[in-house]
Structure 1
Amino acid sequence: MSILLQLHGLRKRCGTQSQQSPAREWLLDIASLTIETQSAYVLTGINGAGKSTLLRILSGLDQAQIQQAQFRGAAINWAAYPRVLRDSIVYVHQHPIMFADTVAGNIVYGLKLRGIPLAQQKIALQQALDWAGIAHLREQLATTLSGGEKQRVALARAKVLRPALLLLDEPTSNLDGEAREQVIALIPDLIQEGSSVIMVCHDRDLIALPGVHRLKLRDGKLENR
């Protein structure tokens, strides 16, 4: 495996949390984080450990101090969060936001922004609908879907972008039964197709997926397990 992303000296202040724990200045104080290509990671830790914050930093939604950063072997200015990162890293929230459009419209949204030709959009859309088992929902308003259906739409919307790094924040936490199993079944396919995946979760079935590396946040530090 080659290295996809490597960060050194990642620090994020506690902010308002420091009032509750004055002795702790940093929510995250990570000496080094290395993500390999086509690999899966599960990130665990107690509530408030900074798991979701780390995903938001990796996706460019939150800022942090980062001394050095490399993406696919090239040094990058992380503070500027260049286009190569924006095009390569996709974040799926615990409660995916659905646009006021059909399921099909939601899935091709990112492809339209990237100027992908319509013919290619149609092919990618149909493949994603079939893959996620939601072809029958193609013309349904996405905001009316169940939690499990929204999660599968969000994964399909991410899949068509072919991300180098996919960030999943508690992808099964609000699901049970068949909906949960359907989401779990999709994640290995994303890895096989070339994405590296970081999942914040406590779902034992996700943690037990073959080849998954375990990371744990404790007191702002990152532990390999």
Structure 2
Amino acid sequence: MSTLPARRTPDGQALPPSQLPPLLTVRGLQRQVGARRLFDIAELAFPRAAVVVLTGVNGAGKSTLLRMVAGLERAPGASVAWTGADGTPRNAALDPLPAALRQRIAYLHQHPYLFRTSVRENIAYGLKARGMPDDEVRRRVGAALGWAGITHVQDTAPECLSGGEVQRVALARAKVLEPDLLLLDEPTSSLDGHAREQVIGLVQDLAAEGRSVVMVCHDRELINLPGVVRWKLGDGRLDTRHP
């Protein structure tokens, strides 16, 4: 997946995200649980540079849907279309997630798992796994620590962190990889007060950078953020025109 050149109106203005081609489009996404069809989605376009909240009752399949798109759960029969780095349209089976998309999508669990090392090493892990030079790793990790407001705990073990700090470390660990699409599962569900406000601010920052963020969410403040796109999953169907 690549960042497309800015599309512009005849008078030279950049087009708003709503008028840009989708970041990626998934087709034929289905999940059956026993005799119950959890969902059956013929086509789902993920918008560019947008924040999407995915709502629905417990058990509707919201987290499952995001995990399938992230390649963390099987998605037999589903396909995905996107634009390659050379501008060529691409199409492939979603299962397994194509290598060209694997590094462009980040998924954050509702209760993030952190390795039993320092905060700094947690954030650096993905960059080192990609073989990035040490100086670039240090630069990116330092910037991510500052962005998330966790520089003061960079040498701390994860088990000593608060819930809000854990969530901010997880967001920094995802951001440092510079994904185009972030899939977040209830990012504020276990937080309250200032910790919750900090995470909401970081989500807004990610969107302001031009990244696409899709969140399973019941947090009214997140849902009601200006410009948020609302999707609702229920009765086996996904409504992407939910008011």
Give the TM-score normalised by structure 2: 0.86
Are 2:37 and 1:13 equivalent residues in the alignment? no
Are 2:179 and 1:163 equivalent residues in the alignment? yes
In the TM superposition, what is the alpha-carbon distance from 1:67 to its structure 2 partner? 4.2
Residues 36-89 of structure 1, C-alpha deviations (whole Å, 9 max, x = no match): 211111000000000000011011111123443202341122123121121111
- CA distance in structure 1 between the aligned counterparts of 2:68 and 2:111, rounded to whole angstroms: 18
C-alpha RMSD of matched pairs (Å): 1.2
In the TM superposition, what is the alpha-carbon distance from 1:190 to its structure 2 partner? 0.8
Residues 173-216 of structure 1, C-alpha deviations (whole Å, 9 max, x = no match): 00001110010010111112232110001111111122110000
Instruction: Give the aligned partner of residue 234 of structure 2.
Output: 218
Conserved? CA contact 1:7–1:66, under 8 Å: no
For the residue of structure 2 that corresponds to 1:80, the secondary structure is coil
Residue 43 (structure 2) aligned to one of 32, 35, 40? 32
Conserved? CA contact 2:188–2:199, under 8 Å: yes
Instruction: Give the aligned partner of residue 14 of structure 2.
Output: none
Residue 100 (structure 1) aligned to one of 113, 116, 119? 116
Paired positions, count: 217
Residues 142-165 of structure 1, C-alpha deviations (whole Å, 9 max, x = no match): 232111100000000000001111
Where do residues 50-199 of structure 1 align in structure 2 (5 Å cutoff)? Answer: 50-72=61-83, 73-199=89-215
- CA distance in structure 2 between the aligned counterparts of 1:91 and 1:143, rounded to whole angstroms: 21
State the one-letter code of the partner of 1:143: E
State the one-letter code of the partner of 1:2: P
Identify, as 1 or 2, the structure richer in helix: 1
- CA distance in structure 2 between the aligned counterparts of 1:115 and 1:132, rounded to whole angstroms: 24
- Which stretch has the larger CA shift, 205-214 or 149-158? 205-214
- Which stretch has the larger CA shift, 58-67 or 110-119? 58-67
- CA distance in structure 1 between the aligned counterparts of 2:103 and 2:92, rounded to whole angstroms: 14
State the one-letter code of the partner of 1:133: G
Give the TM-score normalised by structure 1: 0.93
State the one-letter code of the partner of 1:32: E
Over 3 Å counting, the alpha-carbon distance change for 1:103 and 1:67 in structure 2 is: closer
| Unmatched 5+ stretches in structure 2 | 1-19, 84-88
| Unmatched 5+ stretches in structure 1 | 19-23
Conserved? CA contact 1:99–1:143, under 8 Å: no
Paired-residue identity, % = 53
Instruction: Give the aligned partner of residue 41 of structure 1.
Output: 52
State the one-letter code of the partner of 2:227: G
